[in-house]
Chain A
C-alpha cells in the first residue's frame, strides 16, 4: 500500500519528507491539508497530530508525525541505509550523523525556521507583521552559526562527513526560503564552504522536483 503523507506542497515540513521520498524513489500520495481552511486544526487532524502541525505519515495504519522522524523512518525502511543514513552498527559514523542532525535543528532551523515564520508565514496566514528588531537578532544569530558551519564544511563535504545524508536535505526547505526574504547568506560566497555545500544540495534532482511544484 502506498504511503499517505498528510500535508501540502507549500508546507516546508511536508517538503522535507517529500525530498527524501524522491531521493529514494519511494512512492507516496499527498493528502491535502489546507492551512487556509485551518484543516490542520480540525479535531480529526489533531486526533493524530495533537500539536496541529503538518505533516503526518500513514503507512498502512502506522502513523508518525514530526517531519524529521518521518524522514528517518522512510530512510530506515526503504533503502536509505548506506545512502542517506549511516548503518546503525557503525557507531562513530552514526554519532557524527546525530551530531549533524542536532546542529541542523539547534544551530540552523532555530534561526532560519523562525525567519521564515516571521517574514513569510505569519504575515500570509495570520496577518501578523514581523518585528524588525527580532528579525535583525535572528539574522545576526544565523550569521554566527554559519561561520561555524563554514569551519565544519571546510573539513568535510557534507555536514555529517563526506557523504550526503538526510541531515543535509533537512536544511533545504527553510534554507531555500532565505533568498526569498532577500537574505543571501547561503549563496553569496561570504562563507565559501557553506555556499559550495548549499549549491550542491539545492541542485539535486529530488529537490528541484519538489521545489517546482
Chain B
C-alpha cells in the first residue's frame, strides 16, 4: 500500500518528506490539508497531530508526525541506510550524522524558518513583518553560516563526505531565503556554503518536488 502524506505541496515540512521519497523512489500519495480552510486545526487532524502541524504520515495505519522523524523512518525502512543515513552499527559515522542533524535544527532552522515566517508567511496571512526581528535573525544566521563554511571546508557535506538527510533537511527553508532577497547561500560570500548549497539544491529529487 502506498504511503499517505497528509499535507500539501506548499508546505515546507511536507516537501522535506517528499524529497526523501523522491531520493529513494518511494511512491507516496498526498492527502491534501488546506491551511486556508483551517483543516490542520480540525479535530480529525489534531487527534493525530496534537500540535496542529503539517504533515503527518500514515503507513498502513502506522501514523507518524514531525517531518524529520518521517524522513528518518522512510529512509530506515525503504533503503536509505548507506544512502541517506549511516548504518547504526557504525557508531562514529552515526555520531557525526547526529551532530549534523542537530546543527541543522539548532543553528540553521530557527533563523531560516523565522525569516520565512516574518517575510513570507506573516504577510500572506494578514500579519505585519517586524523588521527589527528580521535584522536580528539575519545577523545571527550570518554568524552561523561562517561556522558552516569552516565545517564545509573540511568535508563535502555536513555529516562527512557523503550526502545525508542532514543536508536535505536544509532545502525547504534554504530555498525560501532567495525568495526574500537574502542571498546568503548563493552569493559566494561563504564559498564552501555556496558550493554545498548549489550541489544539494540541484539534485533531481528537489527539482521534482519544487516543480510539481
* Candidates A50, A62, A144; contact of B150 at CB < 8 Å: A50
How extensive is the interface on chain A, given as a class?
35 or more
B151 interfacial by beta-carbon distance below 8 Å: yes
Which stretch from B2-10, B90-98, B176-184, B195-203 is at the chain A interface?
Answer: B90-98
How far apart are the CA atoms of A72 and B76 in the complex, in Å?
Answer: 17
Question: What are the residues of chain B within 8 A of A158 when measuring CB–CB?
Answer: none
Say yes or no: A66 contacts B106, CB within 8 Å.
yes
B35 at the interface (CB under 8 A from A): no
**How far in angstroms is the closest Cβ of chain A from B121?**
15
**Scoring B residues 45 to 83 as 1 if CB is less than 8 Å from chain A, else 0, what string do you get?**
000001110000000001011111110110011000000
Task: Evaluate contact between B72 and A95: CB separation under 8 angstroms.
Answer: yes
Q: How far is the CA of A99 from the CA of B48 in the complex (A)?
A: 13
Contact A99 B91 (CB under 8 A): no
Q: Does A51 contact B (CB under 8 A)?
A: yes
Question: B31 at interface (Cβ–Cβ under 8 A)?
Answer: no
Q: How far is the CB of A20 from chain B (nearest CB, A)?
A: 13
User: Known contacts A51-B147, A98-B73, A110-B110: does B68 contact A69 (CB below 8 Å)?
Assistant: no
**Contact B144 A91, beta carbon cutoff 8 Å:** no
Within 8 A of A (CB), among B142-199: 144, 146-147, 150-151
**Interface 1/0 per residue, A40-78 and B, CB below 8 Å:** 000000000011100000000010111111101100110
**Chain B residue at smallest Cβ distance from A103:** B66
72-120 of chain A: CB within 8 A of chain B: 72-73, 76-77, 88, 91-92, 94-96, 98-99, 101-103, 105-107, 110
Contact of A64 among B73, B96, B150 (CB under 8 A): B96
Task: Decide yes or no whether A152 CB sits under 8 A from chain B.
Answer: yes
A52 to B107, CA, bound (A): 11
Complex CA–CA separation, A174 to B106 (angstroms) = 14
CB pair A64–B64 under 8 Å, yes or no, is no
Closest A-chain residue to B95, C-beta based? A73
Among B69, B70, B77, the one with the most A-chain Cβ atoms within 10 Å of its Cβ is B69
CA distance in complex: A90, B207 (Å) = 33
The answer to whether the Cβ of A32 comes within 8 Å of any Cβ in the partner chain is: no
Q: Is the interface of A mostly helix, strand, loop or mixed?
A: helix
User: Inside 8 A of A147's CB, which chain B residues have their CB?
Assistant: 50
**A95 vs B69: C-alpha distance when bound (angstroms):** 6
B30 within 8 A of A: no
CA distance A67 to B95 in the complex (A): 11
Checking A72, A73, A77, A92 against B62 with a beta-carbon cut-off of 8 angstroms, the contacting residue is: A92
Q: Compute how far the CA of A73 lies from the CA of B94 in the bound complex, rounded to whole angstroms.
A: 8
| B110-A96 in contact (CB<8A) | no
B153 to chain A, nearest CB (A): 10
Q: Collect the chain A residues with CB atoms within 8 Å of residue B144's CB.
A: 51
Any chain B CB within 8 A of the CB of A145? yes
Do A73 and B98 form a contact, CB below 8 Å, given A50-B150, A91-B77? Answer: yes
Residue numbers in A under 8 Å from B91 (CB-CB): 73, 76-77
Say yes or no: B98 contacts A68, CB within 8 Å.
Answer: yes
Which residue on A lies nearest to B97, using beta carbons? A69
Q: Is B139 close to A, CB under 8 A?
A: no
B120 within 8 A of A: no
Residues on B with beta carbons closer than 8 Å to the beta carbon of A144: 51
Complex Cα gap A63–B83 (Å): 24
Which residues on the B side are within 8 Å of A92 (C-beta)?
62
Of the A-B pairs whose beta carbons lie under 8 Å apart in the complex, a sample of 7, sorted by A's number, is A50-B146, A64-B99, A68-B98, A69-B101, A102-B66, A103-B51, A110-B110
- Given contacts A72-B94, A73-B91, A102-B105, list 10 more A-B pairs with CB under 8 A: A50-B147, A62-B92, A66-B99, A68-B102, A91-B76, A91-B77, A94-B72, A94-B73, A145-B51, A152-B50
Taking Cβ atoms with an 8 Å cutoff, the residues of B that contact A are 50-52, 62, 64-70, 72-73, 76-77, 88, 91-92, 94-96, 98-99, 101-103, 105-107, 109-110, 144, 146-147, 150-151
